[in-house]
Copies of this chain bind each other. A is one copy, B any other.
């Protein structure tokens, strides 16, 4: 993963949005190489684009386009103008999102049409240019929404567009690509102050916060219905959700409302569910204020609350419109609280692979200290991993289960200790140690991988003394795990970094391996 600012910038969007002009001017402004992908296709193949289409049809053209775009990713950082249809290729689009900065330029239909001369000489727009343009935009709405940022160029001068794209490309922004439900996690100092800008345009704002939020609430006050909820698993109940519903209804919301969570994971999950169900669904935004909520509950749209039968047994999938992660607010957390959140960072790195684990090993000490730059990098990395997995499996029917690494036994430990006695992150750390024991017993992981994981968790200040914490009371909770099927559990079995898999195992086998 190249650092932000060293990644190539890909400029996408419909015909007439200004891709070519913006890419050229932006390259000059940043002193970077400029690549026009269509020109490169012509130069490389020695054929005109019309010729390539005539010879092999669209599939031949797209294959060439994908190959050359990926080639650019491996080269020195550039500013690249894409063809309007390039991002319709999902594997290519996802790769550009992961390794480059992908910006969508857009404009109103009348502006687009005027810029392409009313459609003259554009076969794709015949016979009815306006209708063709609108239909094209509707068909591509879901792919253009998957990007690091969008700029509407309708009423901006070229220089202004260039500044906005340059600014987007200089920020830590992680896209969560989910078609028209896509959104961006923005990570940076002071970003909590962007809230006012992000809620502009919605019809009424409901701001739900935990009491800690008072400590750093230095944003300019704006008109909103404010609800304060308690943090902590014990408060993660339908009664807390009902407080949000009723406050919002008393405030007088309609369907144009925006409900914002400012707080940790509990407040985020409760608020997200309230937004999902209020008037059968209104918009939702998040300003997570703990490491755990920045890297975990802010991505993927899982919302909900606990019942006496267990955690998170009721809820909804409801994606936020924006997520603002401001590391400054982490300074107000108790150190143990901040450190517990690093367990999900370690989990994400282990799922991701060698590079992410090595970076985390390098940065562990700085992270424990609360170093700002290391924290931003760690949050970005963990969010990227989670976003990639969620994009593959929004409804958790397959690969998304990998994110439960450390959670099966972890939830058992947390529940057996009584919620609140053991922090979620601490339980996940111990659960990862347990999962590694299962992996070793099944021959999926080496002793050195297990030692490395423990060393990493320990370096991050997380507990690894599993034997001291493990009692027989843990297993009934594992047994009741919601991933249970018959008398087996879907267990997440780690290996070397990047080699984690899901296996269906009898609870007894898990227990024997963990208890050794």
Given contacts A246-B307, A246-B308, A250-B309, contact A314 B281 (CB under 8 A): no
A245: CB under 8 A from chain B? yes
Per-position 1/0 for A15-35, Cβ under 8 A of B = 000000000000000000000
Do B245 and A484 have beta carbons less than 8 Å apart?
no
For the complex, what is the distance from the CA of A278 to the CA of B254, rounded to whole Å? Answer: 25
For the complex, what is the distance from the CA of A278 to the CA of B309, rounded to whole Å? Answer: 12
A28 to chain B, nearest CB (A): 42
Residues of B within 8 A of A249 (CB): 307, 309-310, 313
For the complex, what is the distance from the CA of A246 to the CA of B395, rounded to whole Å? Answer: 23
Residues of B within 8 A of A316 (CB): 276-277, 280-281, 316
Residues of B within 8 A of A280 (CB): 302, 304, 314-317
A88: CB under 8 A from chain B? no
Per-position 1/0 for A64-75, Cβ under 8 A of B = 000000000000
Per-position 1/0 for A298-339, Cβ under 8 A of B = 000010100111100111110000000000000000000000
Q: How many copies does the complex hold?
A: 2
For the complex, what is the distance from the CA of A242 to the CA of B254, rounded to whole Å? Answer: 25
For the complex, what is the distance from the CA of A302 to the CA of B484, rounded to whole Å? Answer: 30
Residues of B within 8 A of A279 (CB): 313-315, 482
Do A307 and B245 have beta carbons less than 8 Å apart?
yes
A485: CB under 8 A from chain B? yes
For the complex, what is the distance from the CA of A72 to the CA of B485, rounded to whole Å? Answer: 51
A238: CB under 8 A from chain B? yes
Do B313 and A245 have beta carbons less than 8 Å apart?
yes
| A contact patch SS | mixed
Per-position 1/0 for A129-163, Cβ under 8 A of B = 00000000000000000000000000000000000
Residues of B within 8 A of A484 (CB): 254
For the complex, what is the distance from the CA of A310 to the CA of B279, rounded to whole Å? Answer: 11
For the complex, what is the distance from the CA of A245 to the CA of B302, rounded to whole Å? Answer: 18
Residues of B within 8 A of A304 (CB): 277, 280
For the complex, what is the distance from the CA of A281 to the CA of B395, rounded to whole Å? Answer: 10
For the complex, what is the distance from the CA of A281 to the CA of B280, rounded to whole Å? Answer: 14
Chain B residue with Cβ nearest A396: B280
Per-position 1/0 for A228-264, Cβ under 8 A of B = 0000000000100010011001100010000000000
Chain B residue with Cβ nearest A239: B238
Residues of B within 8 A of A314 (CB): 245, 277-280
Residues of B within 8 A of A315 (CB): 277, 279-280
Residues of B within 8 A of A276 (CB): 316
Do A482 and B238 have beta carbons less than 8 Å apart?
no
Do A238 and B242 have beta carbons less than 8 Å apart?
yes
Chain B residue with Cβ nearest A301: B280
A135 to chain B, nearest CB (A): 12
A197 to chain B, nearest CB (A): 24
Residues of B within 8 A of A254 (CB): 482, 484-485
Residues of B within 8 A of A278 (CB): 313-314
Chain B residue with Cβ nearest A309: B249
Chain B residue with Cβ nearest A277: B314
Do B246 and A317 have beta carbons less than 8 Å apart?
no
A260 to chain B, nearest CB (A): 18
Do B309 and A246 have beta carbons less than 8 Å apart?
yes
Residues on A lying within 8 angstroms of B by beta carbon are 238, 242, 245-246, 249-250, 254, 273, 276-281, 302, 304, 307-310, 313-317, 395, 482, 484-485
28 CB-based A-B contacts, threshold 8 Å: A238-B242, A242-B307, A245-B307, A245-B313, A246-B307, A246-B308, A249-B307, A249-B309, A249-B310, A249-B313, A250-B309, A254-B484, A273-B277, A277-B277, A277-B304, A277-B314, A277-B316, A278-B314, A279-B313, A279-B314, A279-B315, A280-B302, A280-B304, A280-B314, A281-B316, A281-B317, A281-B395, A316-B316
